[in-house]
Amino acid sequence: MFQSKVPLEFWGDCILTATYIINRIPTPVLQKQSPYQVLYLKEPDYNIFKVFGSLCYANTPQHARHKFSPRAEPTVFIGYPLGVKGYKLYNLASGKNMISRNVKFHEDILSFVLQQSSNSSITSQTQDPFHHVSQ
């Protein structure tokens, strides 16, 4: 959470995601089985693990778009929803949470790091708008 510069408002999602992952990792206490495996008698799918706070693009539902609207929206991965097969995402444009299965991940790009660096460059420019003018 700290390395990806995720805001404090996502602290709860971070804890839930960590718990989700811990429950699927094998432990010596359970003879190298995961709590998930002991409870459901099947091995968990490790391919669904994604980097928390990474940039991803969620498919825009057909009923919510028109001919010239984008087919995908930039979002941030913030966890796994309970009881639903999909990913919990934060829409950067609308500021709302959403759940989607149709997601393209860019795990090497941390969205909030990019957002904070762009905000700091904007603030540094707005502090002195005439920095290029000499006296």
Tokens of 89: 């995402």
Q: Say how far apart CA 44 and CA 23 lie, in whole Å.
A: 9
Q: What is the per-residue pLDDT for 130?
A: 44
Q: Say how far apart CA 13 and CA 78 lie, in whole Å.
A: 6
pLDDT digits (tens, 9 = 90+) for 23-72: 999 999 999 999 999 999 999 999 999 999 999 999 887 777 788 888 88
pTM of the model: 0.78
Q: Say how far apart CA 134 and CA 132 lie, in whole Å.
A: 6
**CATH top-level class of 8-116:** mainly beta
Q: What is the per-residue pLDDT for 129?
A: 46
Q: Looking at residue 108, what DSSP letter applies? A: E
Tokens of 34: 């995961």
Tokens of 129: 């708008």
Does 17 score more than 50 pLDDT?
yes
Q: Please report which confidence band the pLDDT of residue 110 belongs to, taking 50, 70 and 90 as the band edges.
A: confident
Which is more confidently placed, 120 or 14? 14
Does 94 score more than 60 pLDDT?
yes
Q: What is the per-residue pLDDT for 126?
A: 37
Residue with tokens 């539902």: 61
Tokens of 25: 């990792």
Q: List the chain domain ranges.
A: 8-116
Cα separations (Å) of 130 from 78, 120, 124, 135?
A: 39, 17, 11, 10
